[in-house]
């Protein structure tokens, strides 16, 4: 839990009581925790020589290849609590950070953080950048604000790599948006997913003029269970009409009465009008990556392992027992996030299509807060929290990442034929998950003298927005990149 969130909670007995209850649930003796949650790598982006890994306890930044990763704490970016911001990298190497109250830009060279004018007070639900970082979009939704106009949504965009931003002409009503992606073959084309409220239905949308106009229709997955939510997973650089979506099925109970969170990976070749299910998993698929040719694809998650397809999803082979928490194809290599306790790394790279994984970092190998000249910049506030953060992560004697590791299969790869709609969770046994070292991280610190407490509206908006976005933001690792 961040110190700022603790200070805010201290001023509100109701929030403090709720916080204590949540801490009792998440900081159990069986689990290590960071920011009140199990420390997890969630999403990764790479561009202009910079790699940024989003974790449950902030951003980890690598400013040059083979350089150590450094930490950017939540307080430096302007958020705290159970909030997972969307991120992207612009043409200048700055990091876009989508917050519940606006869009920020983090400079990894100066450690400065600034807000994008015009986005203040808007919930930024997703951001994306073109392959060269020259085109940028930030999708916003006002779903956590009550108004006579109802729920509104729209898009901010930049055509010059983030130097200037403008509000796109498109405006939507009564849609809670989840994801936006710039098509890799046609930078004027944008893909969207969201939920229309009256009547409730999952929708897919497309803009062919970079957000000036929008066409929307109901997402028909063609499955008996239907779709509870959907997230754009990826597009390729060859076919402008080919797009992939990760569709979450409604929760169901298995024979033992446990709730199951099923996922379908869908592919369209006609611009999103019709969909084919290319992979079914009775588990969350947290990772998806797609190479520019549109044929080489990867997917994976807990209980699934790392899957690879060489034929645009027609068949799948399990190439590793590593359970990805996010995947991305970038600059000819596959980036793989994982649980560093279970799999031995937080981020790894493969240059042989998943056959071997080279560990890039784990949480215990992070060198400390991101630092710039003379300790300047917003990230300077992270220094005081770093020693406690390491202890919270259980990194008093943290292991260094192995330089090269086999991808983890101890038997011949198994295969999936998509035509049979196989259950991806039945691909084979996975290695047991080790129990992390018990660590508690929940506390409520007194508020600094003279510090003002946030308003009730701030809390209501934050809680509602985080609750709405929580499931979708965990899915951001499933984008193809």
The whole-angstrom separation of Cα 30 and Cα 52 is 29
Q: What is the reported pLDDT for 480?
A: 63
Q: Hunting for tokens 């929708």 — which residue is that?
A: 203
Alpha helices for 27-185 (secondary structure H)? 74-77
Q: Hunting for tokens 């691909």 — which residue is that?
A: 427
Q: CA angle 304-310-316, nearest 5°?
A: 30
Q: Is 23 strand, coil or helix?
A: helix
| Dihedral pair phi/psi, residue 221, rounded to 5° | -80, -15
| CA neighbor of 59 nearest in space, from 69, 49, 46 | 69
Q: What is the reported pLDDT for 461?
A: 44
DSSP 266-312: EEESSSSSS-EEEEEESS---EEEE-TTSS-EEEEETTTEEEEESST
Crossing angle for the helix pair 3-10 and 13-26, nearest 10 degrees? 140
If the chain, 481 residues long, is cut into consecutive pieces of 10 residues, what is the mean pLDDT of each piece?
34 37 34 68 96 97 95 94 94 96 95 94 95 96 61 96 96 94 98 93 97 96 83 97 96 76 94 96 94 98 96 98 97 96 96 97 96 81 94 73 47 42 39 35 34 42 46 51 59
Judge contact between 121 and 458, C-beta under 8 A.
no
Q: How many C-beta atoms lie closer than 10 Å to residue 176's C-beta?
A: 23
Q: Which two tokens stand for residue 423?
A: 């259950």
**Which H or E element spans position 389?**
helix 386-392
State in Å, rounded, how far the first CA of the chain is from the last one.
30
Beta bridge partners of 301: 305
Integer-rounded Cα Rg, in Å, for the chain is 21
Q: Which two tokens stand for residue 89?
A: 């990298």
Q: CA angle 13-17-20, nearest 5°?
A: 135
The whole-angstrom separation of Cα 249 and Cα 379 is 40
Q: Is 194 strand, coil or helix?
A: strand
Q: What is the reported pLDDT for 345?
A: 97
Judge contact between 372 and 111, C-beta under 8 A.
yes
In CATH, what number does 3-409+459-478 get? 2.130.10.10
| Dihedral pair phi/psi, residue 331, rounded to 5° | 55, 40
């Amino acid at each position: 839990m961040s110190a700022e969130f603790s200070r805010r909670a201290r001023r509100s007995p109701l929030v403090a009581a709720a916080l204590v209850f949540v801490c009792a649930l998440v900081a159990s003796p069986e689990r290590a925790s960071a920011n009140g949650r199990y420390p997890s790598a969630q999403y990764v982006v790479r561009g202009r020589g910079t790699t940024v890994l989003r974790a449950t306890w902030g951003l980890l930044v690598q400013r040059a290849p083979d350089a150590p990763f450094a930490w950017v704490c939540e307080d430096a970016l302007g958020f705290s609590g159970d909030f997972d911001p969307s991120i992207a990298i612009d043409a200048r190497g700055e990091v876009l950070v989508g917050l519940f109250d606006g869009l920020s830009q983090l400079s990894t060279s100066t450690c400065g953080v600034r807000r994008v004018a015009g986005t203040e007070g808007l919930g930024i639900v997703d951001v994306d950048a073109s392959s060269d970082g020259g085109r940028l979009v930030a999708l916003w939704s006002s779903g956590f604000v009550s108004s006579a106009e109802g729920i509104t949504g729209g898009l901010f965009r930049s055509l010059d790599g983030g130097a200037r931003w403008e509000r796109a002409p498109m405006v939507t009503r009564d849609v809670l948006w989840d994801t936006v992606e710039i098509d890799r073959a046609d930078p004027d084309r944008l893909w969207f997913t969201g939920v229309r409220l009256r009547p409730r239905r999952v929708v897919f949308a497309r803009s062919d003029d970079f957000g000036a106009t929008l066409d929307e229709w109901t997402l028909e997955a063609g499955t008996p269970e239907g779709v509870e939510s959907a997230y754009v997973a990826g597009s390729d650089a060859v076919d402008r009409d080919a797009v992939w979506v990760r569709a979450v099925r409604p929760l169901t109970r298995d024979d033992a009465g446990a709730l199951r969170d099923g996922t379908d990976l869908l592919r369209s070749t006609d611009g999103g009008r019709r969909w084919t299910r290319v992979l079914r998993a009775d588990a969350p698929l947290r990772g998806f990556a797609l190479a520019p040719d549109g044929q080489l694809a990867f997917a994976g998650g807990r209980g699934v392992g790392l899957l690879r397809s060489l034929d645009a999803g027609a068949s799948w082979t399990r190439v590793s027992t590593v359970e990805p928490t996010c995947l991305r194809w970038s600059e000819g290599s596959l980036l793989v996030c994982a649980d560093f306790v279970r799999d031995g790394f937080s981020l790894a790279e493969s240059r042989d299509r998943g056959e071997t994984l080279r560990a890039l970092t784990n949480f215990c190998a992070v060198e400390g807060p991101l630092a710039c000249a003379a300790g300047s910049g917003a990230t300077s506030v992270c220094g005081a929290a770093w020693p406690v953060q390491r202890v919270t992560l259980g990194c008093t004697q943290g292991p260094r990442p192995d330089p090269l590791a086999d991808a983890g299969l101890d038997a011949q790869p198994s295969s999936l034929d998509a035509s049979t709609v196989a259950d991806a969770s039945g691909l084979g046994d996975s290695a047991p998950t080790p129990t992390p070292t018990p660590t508690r991280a929940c506390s409520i610190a007194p508020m600094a003298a003279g510090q003002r407490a946030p308003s009730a509206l701030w809390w209501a908006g934050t809680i509602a927005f985080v609750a709405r976005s929580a499931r979708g933001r965990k899915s951001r690792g499933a984008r193809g990149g």
